[in-house]
Chain A
C-alpha cells in the first residue's frame, strides 16, 4: 500500500514537471524573431501561386528585394497593386526583385487579381498564413524592402499612397 502511495506521488510530480516543461517550451517558441528594420530578413519557401515551382527568399539573396504581403479581400491592396507593378517594372533592370505573398486568400481570387492588375513578379501563396506570426504581420498590406546584405531597410504597414516613399526605400538599397 505504501509503495502504491509513493508511486502515486511520483506520478503527480512527473505530471507537474511535464506541464512545466510544456509551459517553458511554449514561452520559448513564442519568442520567434519577427521582421524588423535592421534585422536579417526571415526566410520562407512557399509554393508559387501559379503552381509553377516555389518562391523563396533564399533564391534572391544578394539582390535588393521588395516583399509585399497582400490578399484580394483587402481594399488597400487593390489600390496599391498598380503602384507596385509600376515600380517592379521600373526597377527590374537595376536588379531589384519584387515578391508578392498572397496570404489568407482563395487561390482562384488571387489568380484573377494577378491577371486583372497584370502583376509580372512572382507571387507566393500562403493561404494558411504560416508567415503571419514569424514576420510579425499586423494587417494587410505590409511591405518590406530588403538590401543586398539581406537586412530589412524599410517596413511599410498599410498601402503606399504614392511611389515616392517606396522608391526612396528602394534607392537606399541601390546606393
Chain B
C-alpha cells in the first residue's frame, strides 16, 4: 500500500507542472481542441466556418495579451454560452457528466463482485453429500 501511495504521489507531482504551465500559457492548438464552433458543432481545429475563424483570431489575440486558458474560455462562454466548451465543466450540474460514468463503473464493479462472490460460494453450499 505504501508503494502504491508513493507511486500516486510521484505521478501527481509529475503531472502538476505541465498542467499548471498549460493553464498559465495555453497554446492555440490546445484551446482550439477544447472549444467548439457554435454553428458547426465541431472543435475549432476541425472547422473553417466564419465564426470559427473569428474565434481562432480572438484566441490568438488573448494568448498574445497573456490571458490564461480559463480566462479565455470564460470570455468565450460569456459571449457564446457554455455550448462552446467541448467538454463539460468540472463544477455545478456539469460535474455530474464526470461523476456519473465513474459512479456507474464502481456500481457495476460492485454488482459484478457480489455476483461472483455468490456464484463461487453456491456450489460449495449446495454440493450434495456423498455417501
* A interface residues with partner B (beta carbon < 8 Å): 71-75, 104-107, 109, 127-130
Contact = CB atoms under 8 A, between A and B. Distances in A.
Contacts of B25: none
Contact of A71 (B51, B58, B78, B83): B51
B50 A104 contact: no
B54 interface: yes
Q: DSSP class of A's interface residues: helix, strand, loop or mixed?
A: loop
B98 interface: no
Given A104-B38, A104-B39, A106-B58, A127 B51 contact: no
B81 A75 contact: no
Given A104-B39, A106-B58, A73 B53 contact: yes
7 closest A-B pairs by beta carbon, nearest first, are A128-B81, A73-B50, A127-B79, A73-B54, A104-B38, A73-B51, A127-B80
17 contacts: A72-B54, A73-B51, A74-B50, A104-B38, A104-B80, A105-B51, A106-B54, A106-B58, A107-B79, A109-B54, A127-B79, A127-B81, A128-B81, A129-B38, A129-B80, A129-B81, A130-B81
Which label, helix, strand, loop or mixed, suits the secondary structure of the B interface? helix
Interface residues of B, number: 13
Contacts of B83: 128
Interface string B3-38: 000000000000000000000000000000000001
Contacts of B39: 104
A75 B23 CA distance: 35
Given A75-B50, A104-B51, 20 more contacts: A71-B51, A72-B54, A73-B50, A73-B51, A73-B53, A105-B51, A105-B79, A106-B54, A106-B58, A106-B79, A107-B79, A109-B54, A127-B78, A127-B79, A127-B80, A127-B81, A128-B80, A129-B80, A129-B81, A130-B81
Nearest to B58: A106
